[in-house]
Structure 1
Amino acid sequence: MSTIPDQQGGTRRRRRIHSDEFKANAVASCMQPGMSMAAVAMVQGVNANLLRRWVRDAEMNSATTVVSATTTEMMVNASREARKSCVRAFNTVRGAQ
């Protein structure tokens, strides 16, 4: 005796694919004051855990962008300071001659 119902050919459930725009709109809805993630998930027709993953990914991407911009700015400032230091050393050596 089998407890698994027979599946008709072609009625197989498939994983849904959501566009980046759909995900961005859902994440933006979660960021609104007073909106719960569960309520947004129900309205959008997705699982709350999936929506939470999209929010986490969006937060990670924005944090990476901020860190990347800060690191680049720090590198530019460091290279400016290094160049100034080299110019001072060159001028000092040149003035000593």
Structure 2
Amino acid sequence: MHIEKYSIPAEQLVKGAWYVGRGRNGNVGLWDGEMFLVIGYKFDRPTIKYESPYKDEEGTFQAFLRIDEGTMIEPFGDIGWDAHYGRLMRFSCCDQE
């Protein structure tokens, strides 16, 4: 199965969400409400780089798909890290933005 997506306008990006796209330093970025945080390299060492959202005349990160981080549906327990980790997670097939 393939999906085809147009880029997501900056006004529709969700703060705190991860996106797959095309960037100068990397192709996965975390939107902080103003910039994308992308893992890039400086002198062969990973570092966080900031990229502005792509627009017609400027920007370096073009978002196409919000990443679904999943929902834990069979956690190991009810509190703390036991609720965070588990046996089974549910993911949406495709973001419909």
Q: Give the alignment's TM-score, normalised by structure 1.
A: 0.23
Is the radius of gyration larger for structure 1 or structure 2?
A: 1
Return the structure number with greater strand share: 2
Q: Give the alignment's TM-score, normalised by structure 2.
A: 0.23
Return the structure number with greater helix share: 1
